[in-house]
Amino acid sequence: MKLISERKISSKSILYTVSSWTNIFAAVLISIPRKGGDRVARPIKDGVDYFPKNTDFYQDDKVRLLRARFGAKGMYLLDYLLCDLYGKNGYYIEWNENKCFLVSDGAGCGCDSGLVKEFITGCLQCSFFDERVFNVFGILTSSGIQRRYIRMFNSRDEIQIIKEYWLLNVEDKKDVPLSVLNKITFKSLKSTENPDKSTENSQSKVKENKVNKSKVNNISSEQVELATEPTIIALPMIDGNDYPICQSQIDDWADVFPAVDILADLKRMRAWLNANPTKRKTPRGIKRFIVTWLSKTQDSGGTRGYRPKPSYDKTDPASYTGEDDSEAFLRYARELENT
């Protein structure tokens, strides 16, 4: 009996020793630097494992309208969609016919593709999801979803947002807290359609991007790329430099904000910034300012057809400079900024 007991103890000791050395070996492997100096790390996840849900969620008017129209299946579909949305991309979900069938199959419970399609239409009609972003990009998102997303990712050093999907006002603290504002980095759909095919993990790319930004004094790669294009208009910044805007940027904004006369609004921005030099933006914040302004204009009905009266001497046509700098024009710009 004593011999058997000693053997058992010896076996346990051996197993414990092997397990300890295995853990040590695994820890050493994880800490081995990769080529280029970066350590092996898990890629950054866009989505989240869980998301907050208010206790009065089902009392919201939009949700009540969906429940009245689609019943219990509608509430189940809504929860399924939100889990899919937050879990994959974090703040949006791409919607198309294939996705409709996948949601129908995944949700089950008699939710056929026809019901799913009708439910999405209902969500857009009651503004649970933003209708403009859906119509232009085929994307399901909302301002409420984006508010929760940036707050959930507050602990990260950088929060990347596709600018075309952005619905919040960066100058409104209720939308974007100051603790989050400096962490947000906007990227264009063009950059996401042609991702870097290198095998380096995303954390290494973030570090590399930060180094590159510091080397060019916070001038984005997009600005460098656009430097070869002729400047259509320039906006004054707080550092005394001008932010050049090229035709390709104007075309991109025209696609996103179809009701807005982009060039006319850019002139209004320039007039407003000239009239309010203390409120000019930094190189980092100027694009947010532009997108927020254009978004407000779009939401207020657009500016196509708005023509401010020119401020020049009618008796002297030669005095007309072609600039929209009238007082009526400036008042309009201030009204837009305050809305």
For the cut 90, the answer to whether the pLDDT of residue 186 exceeds it is no
Interval 6-11 mean pLDDT: 52
Q: How confident is the model at residue 78 (pLDDT cuts 50, 70, 90)?
A: very high
Write the pLDDT tens digit of every residue in 266-310. Answer: 999 999 998 888 888 888 788 889 998 998 888 888 776 544 444
Indicate the residue type of 185.
T
Indicate the residue type of 22.
T
Query: Is residue 142 helix, strand or coil?
Result: coil
For the cut 80, the answer to whether the pLDDT of residue 62 exceeds it is yes
Q: Rounded to two decimals, what is the model's pTM?
A: 0.47
Write the pLDDT tens digit of every residue in 210-220. Answer: 434 433 344 44
- The DSSP string of 227-293 is TTSPEEEEEE-TTS-EEEEEHHHHHHHHHH-TTS-HHHHHHHHHHHHHH-GGGPPPTTTHHHHHHHH
Beta bridge pairs of residue 31: none
Cα 137 vs. chain centroid, distance in angstroms? Answer: 13
- How many Å apart are CA 225 and CA 231, to the nearest integer? 12
% of the chain surpassing 90 pLDDT? 25
Write the pLDDT tens digit of every residue in 192-251. Answer: 555 444 334 444 444 444 434 433 344 444 444 444 578 889 899 888 888 899 888 898
CA distances from 213 to 7, 110, 157 (A): 63, 52, 15
Which among 281, 225, 293, 222 has a CA at the least distance from the CA of 253? 293
Q: Beta 159-162 vs 184-187: how paired, if at all? A: parallel
For the cut 70, the answer to whether the pLDDT of residue 20 exceeds it is no
Write the pLDDT tens digit of every residue in 21-30. Answer: 555 555 544 4
Q: What is the pLDDT of residue 302?
A: 78
Where does the chain have alpha helices with state H? 2-31, 61-88, 97-107, 113-125, 131-137, 143-152, 178-181, 189-193, 202-215, 221-226, 247-256, 262-275, 286-299, 327-338
Which secondary-structure segment (H or E) carries 184? strand 184-187
